[in-house]
């Protein structure tokens, strides 16, 4: 090679070819992991279950009626080892960057065996905004094994349940991996984690026939949330409590309130369409004072009592009812968390850090008793905007026979 320019060009081209390609993978040789479940193993410390998508079954053109996803489990001394050795059973390179869901079992959470999260955080393939959830009762792997005709990949189904649950009612806190790790490493804030459970028979649910039934034999449903102290599960909150926690945190935008409207056995239902939460914390005289003020916009979706909705005074009476009911509910949840778990899942400590940094520095090492003793005030301002597309309900005039077996309904917990 006499020409210096040509030889230089050739060596540069060689450089490109020789250095590149180490992370080159064709899509044919890869498999998308949609969800990961972590249980305590029988033989080893962990049992890792991966849900892998079978892409041919996900496109309408190539559909042949097989399962759209395959689940495979492997045990290992650590999660990393189990994940790395998963190819003992699956013939493809796993693609982790599209994981939608990480599920841990209640057992793992109770024992606090969550250090493996370090791997998820430091690995370049995993996303930090992956949805993180725990099971209530059932083994984590079972949640990935239950098929459903609408969203055929279990992980995708659980995630869209969680998203809609948070948005429409407030039944799931939608915790991402990053949120959990941030709360865990915080001095005062404690992690909250959404919970799911399997309802029905897993053995029947993990077959394709589960998708052919009108009422599937098994179903994964949302089950409130779990309260942690650092990495250890303390206990569970019901769906209603979870909603109230979200309300205090200011994450909730929409929900439904249903409670007795004054007349015996009769209910009123209100759709909350917008809500904003303001919190103030103040540490004076050795006591933490917390002011929570929530203002909501709502409309009446259903009213059994004979209330003339065209009357402004009646409306303001109903607004008072909502306020009282909500204050009561939210106070109940906060004091339950305060006294039963002593865990500041709301993030009041972070607020104090911003508002009274000096005090916070003194208190942060021993936050739990301060939080427990805190004086919580809840103030709700409710505003009723409308009553659907009618003003006065037809129930106002309609004659009605009271059913005998009607029970005092309460909000689902």
Partner 1 sequence: MSGIELEDEKMSQPLQPYAKSCRFVLEEKFGHTTDFCLEEISQSGCLGIICYLKTMVDLDAIQEIAAMLQVDGKGRQFGPLEEEAARAYGSRIFTTMSLQYPATLREVMDHILNGYMVICWDGLHEAIAVPVQGGEQRAVSEPTTQTVVKGPKDSFTESIVTNMSLVRRRIKSEHLRFESMTLGVDTRTSIELLYIEGITNIRIVNEVRERLGRIQTSSILDSGSIEEFITDSNLTPFPLLLSTERPDSIAGGLLEGRTAILVDGTPFALLAPVSIHDFFQTPEDYYLHFYIATFIRWIRYVAFLIALLLPALFVSVMTYHHELIPTNLLINLMAQREGVPFPTVVEAFLMELTFEVLREAGIRMPRAIGQTVSIVGALVIGQAAVEAGIVSNAMVIIVSLTGICNYVSPSYSFASSARLLRFLLIILASVLGLYGTLLGVVIIVAHLTGLRSIGVPYLSSTAPWIMEDQDDVFIRLPMFLNRKRPRLLMPQQVTKQSWPSKLLGRKGGGSN
Taking the complex as a whole, the smallest distance from the CB of residue 46 to partner 1 amounts, in Å, to 25
Residue closer to partner 1, measured from CB, 163 or 201: 163
Pick one of 41, 44, 58, 271: the residue that binds partner 1 (CB under 8 A): 58
Q: Which of residues 246-275 bind partner 1 (CB under 8 A)?
A: none
Interaction between residue 53 and partner 1 (CB under 8 A): yes
Residue closer to partner 1, measured from CB, 20 or 399: 20
Cα dihedral 89→90→95→98 (10° resolution): -90
Interaction between residue 95 and partner 1 (CB under 8 A): yes
Residue closer to partner 1, measured from CB, 64 or 407: 64
Stretch that binds partner 1, among 14-22, 232-240, 279-287, 334-342 (CB under 8 A): 14-22
Taking the complex as a whole, the smallest distance from the CB of residue 135 to partner 1 amounts, in Å, to 23
* H or E segment and range at residue 82: helix 79-84
Those residues whose C-beta lies under 8 Å from the C-beta of residue 218, and which sit 6 or more positions away, are 146, 198, 199, 200, 201, 202, 204, 205, 206, 210
The full DSSP string for 127-192 is -TT-EEEEESSS-HHHHTS---SSS-SHHHHHHHHHHHHHHHT------BHHHHHHHHHSSSB--E
| H-only helix segments in 169-275 | 177-185, 202-205, 239-249
| Spatial distance between the Cα atoms of 402 and 412, rounded to a whole number of angstroms | 23
Stretch that binds partner 1, among 20-28, 170-178, 199-207, 236-244 (CB under 8 A): 20-28
| Spatial distance between the Cα atoms of 82 and 69, rounded to a whole number of angstroms | 20
Taking the complex as a whole, the smallest distance from the CB of residue 18 to partner 1 amounts, in Å, to 9
Interaction between residue 32 and partner 1 (CB under 8 A): yes
Pick one of 2, 3, 24, 402: the residue that binds partner 1 (CB under 8 A): 24
- Burial, 150: exposed, middle or buried (Cβ in 10 Å; 0-12, 13-18, 19+)? exposed
Q: Which of residues 121-140 bind partner 1 (CB under 8 A)?
A: 125, 127
Residue closer to partner 1, measured from CB, 162 or 198: 162
Pick one of 7, 11, 25, 396: the residue that binds partner 1 (CB under 8 A): 25
Length of the chain: 413
Taking the complex as a whole, the smallest distance from the CB of residue 199 to partner 1 amounts, in Å, to 27
Pick one of 2, 3, 5, 26: the residue that binds partner 1 (CB under 8 A): 26
Q: Which two tokens stand for residue 358?
A: 């000096």
Identify how many contiguous H helices and E strands the chain contains and give both numbers.
13, 13
Pick one of 7, 11, 66, 97: the residue that binds partner 1 (CB under 8 A): 97
Mark residue 293 as left, alpha or beta (left: phi above 0; alpha: psi -120 to 50; beta: remaining): beta
Kindly calculate the radius of gyration of the chain based on its CA atoms and give it in whole angstroms: 26
> If we measure between CA atoms, which residue out of 98, 102, 146, 145 comes closest to residue 125?
98
> If we measure between CA atoms, which residue out of 113, 127, 131 comes closest to residue 176?
131
Stretch that binds partner 1, among 54-62, 226-234, 285-293, 371-379 (CB under 8 A): 54-62
Phi, psi at 226, each rounded to 5°? -115, 145
Please, which residues bridge with residue 229 across strands? 232
Pick one of 1, 16, 398, 400: the residue that binds partner 1 (CB under 8 A): 16
Interface characters, 62-81, with partner 1 (x: CB under 8 A): x-------------------
Interaction between residue 146 and partner 1 (CB under 8 A): no
DSSP code of 338?
I
Taking the complex as a whole, the smallest distance from the CB of residue 339 to partner 1 amounts, in Å, to 43
Pick one of 41, 44, 45, 55: the residue that binds partner 1 (CB under 8 A): 55
Taking the complex as a whole, the smallest distance from the CB of residue 385 to partner 1 amounts, in Å, to 37
Interaction between residue 17 and partner 1 (CB under 8 A): yes
Kindly list the residues in this chain that would bind partner 1 in the complex (CB under 8 A): 16-17, 20-21, 23-28, 30, 32, 34, 53, 55-56, 58-59, 61-62, 95, 97-98, 100, 125, 127
């Amino acid at each position: 090679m006499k020409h210096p320019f040509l030889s230089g060009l050739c060596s540069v081209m060689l450089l490109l070819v020789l250095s590149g390609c180490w992370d080159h993978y064709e899509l044919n040789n890869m498999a998308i992991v949609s969800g990961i479940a972590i249980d305590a193993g029988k033989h080893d410390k962990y049992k890792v279950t991966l849900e892998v998508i079978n892409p041919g079954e996900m496109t309408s053109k190539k559909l042949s009626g097989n399962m759209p996803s395959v689940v495979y489990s492997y045990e290992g001394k650590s999660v990393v080892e189990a994940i790395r050795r998963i190819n003992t059973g699956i013939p493809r390179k796993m693609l982790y960057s599209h994981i939608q869901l990480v599920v841990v079992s209640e057992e793992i959470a109770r024992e606090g065996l969550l250090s493996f999260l370090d791997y998820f955080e430091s690995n370049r393939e995993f996303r930090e905004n992956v949805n993180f959830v725990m099971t209530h009762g059932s083994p984590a792997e079972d949640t990935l094994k239950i098929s459903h005709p609408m969203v055929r990949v279990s992980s995708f189904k659980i995630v869209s349940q969680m998203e809609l649950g948070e948005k429409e009612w407030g039944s799931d806190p939608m915790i991402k991996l990053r949120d959990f790790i941030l709360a865990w490493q915080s001095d005062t804030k404690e992690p909250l984690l959404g919970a799911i459970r399997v309802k029905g028979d897993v053995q029947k649910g993990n077959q394709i026939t589960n998708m052919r039934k009108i009422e599937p034999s098994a179903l994964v449903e949302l089950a409130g949330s779990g309260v942690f102290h650092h990495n250890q599960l303390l206990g569970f909150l019901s769906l209603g409590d979870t909603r109230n926690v979200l309300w205090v945190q200011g994450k909730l935008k929409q929900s439904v309130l249903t409670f007795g409207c004054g007349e015996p056995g009769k209910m009123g239902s209100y759709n909350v369409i917008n809500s904003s939460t303001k919190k103030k914390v103040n540490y004076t005289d050795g006591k933490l004072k917390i002011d929570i003020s929530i203002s909501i916009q709502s409309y009446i979706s259903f009213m059994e009592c004979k209330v003339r909705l065209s009357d402004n005074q009646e409306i303001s009476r109903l607004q008072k009812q909502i306020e009282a009911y909500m204050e009561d509910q939210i106070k109940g949840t906060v004091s339950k968390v305060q006294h039963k778990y002593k865990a500041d899942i709301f993030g009041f400590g972070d607020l104090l850090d911003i508002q009274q940094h000096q005090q916070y520095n003194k208190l942060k090492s021993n936050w739990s008793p301060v939080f427990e003793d805190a004086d919580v005030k809840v103030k709700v301002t409710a505003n009723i905007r409308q009553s659907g597309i009618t003003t006065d309900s037809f129930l106002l005039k309609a004659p009605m026979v009271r059913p005998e077996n009607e029970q005092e309904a309460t909000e689902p917990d």
